[in-house]
């Protein structure tokens, strides 16, 4: 919760591309969030060093502290990711690894996490989303299974996400479901 009692959702985007469709899904989810829900995108996943137990000691790298604090501060995490070679992009997996430690007490522990996204292939990144969900679950997060949006990019027909009402509605729903899951956790 923030100072206004809003539910805070932090989005991790699995693509670093300037014109990333997954980032635009996250932005549309943020703009269309229901009242009382604040959605913010995490910037700078590429600044994290590769996970290495040798550097996961005090003083922990500043970018790792920043990520852990941002996730720790959020009520829930939304992941919007493409699929790379049939699985989760490395930049996202690296972030999950950092969030999984200290073992049993990582910033993602017991945090509700929703996974969605878009990819070129016909199943819209389902393998990546399944692998992301498995990894998040093992890392200690609580995957909200009711959130399922694997958008085959062709469905956009070259239009911006904002021009495809059914996708905007699916994103709004995903945020609502994730926010409701945070209420269950704190109840």
Ligand X SMILES: Cc1cc2nc3c(=O)[nH]c(=O)nc-3n(C[C@H](O)[C@H](O)[C@H](O)COP(=O)(O)O)c2cc1C
Residues that bind ligand X (CB under 6 A): 15, 17, 20-22, 82-86, 119-121, 125, 153
Nearer to ligand X, 21 or 29 (CB): 21
Whole-angstrom distance, CA of residue 138 vs CA of residue 141: 7
**From CA 4, how far away is CA 123, in angstroms rounded?**
39
Identity of the residue, 4 or 122, whose beta carbon is nearer to ligand X in the bound complex: 122
What is the Cα–Cα distance from 65 to 27, expressed in whole angstroms?
24
Residue placing its CB nearer to ligand X in the complex, 122 or 186:
122
If the CB atoms of residues 7 and 81 are measured against ligand X, the closer one turns out to be 81
Minimum separation from the CB atom of position 113 to ligand X (A): 18
Q: In angstroms, what is the minimal distance from the CB of 76 to ligand X? A: 21
CB nearer ligand X, residue 16 or residue 185: 16
Give the residue with the Cβ less far from ligand X, 51 or 84: 84
Give the residue at shortest CB distance from ligand X. Answer: 121
**Least distance between ligand X and beta carbon 7 (Å):** 25
**Least spacing, CB of residue 11 vs ligand X, in Å:** 12
Which of 162, 117, 121 minimizes the C-alpha distance to 22?
117
Smallest CA-to-CA distance from 141 within 103, 173, 100 is with: 100
Smallest distance, Å, CB 118 to ligand X?
6
What is the smallest separation between the CB atom of 42 and ligand X, expressed in angstroms?
Answer: 15
């Amino acid at each position: 919760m923030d100072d206004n009692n809003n539910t805070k959702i932090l989005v991790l985007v699995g693509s670093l591309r300037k014109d990333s469709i997954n980032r635009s899904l996250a932005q549309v989810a943020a703009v269309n969030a229901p009242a009382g829900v604040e959605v913010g995108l995490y910037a700078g996943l590429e600044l994290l060093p590769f996970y290495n137990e040798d550097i996961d000691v005090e003083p922990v790298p500043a970018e790792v502290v920043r990520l852990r604090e941002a996730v720790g501060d959020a009520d829930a995490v939304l992941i919007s990711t493409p699929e790379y070679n049939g699985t989760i992009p490395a930049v996202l997996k690296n972030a999950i690894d950092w969030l999984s430690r200290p073992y049993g007490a990582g910033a993602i522990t017991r945090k509700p996490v929703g996974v969605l996204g878009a990819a070129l292939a016909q199943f819209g990144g389902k393998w990546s989303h399944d692998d992301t969900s498995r990894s998040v679950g093992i890392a200690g997060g609580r995957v909200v299974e009711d959130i399922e949006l694997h958008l085959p990019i062709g469905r956009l027909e070259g239009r911006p996400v904002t021009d495809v009402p059914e996708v905007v509605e699916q994103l709004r729903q995903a945020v609502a479901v994730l926010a409701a899951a945070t209420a269950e956790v704190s109840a």
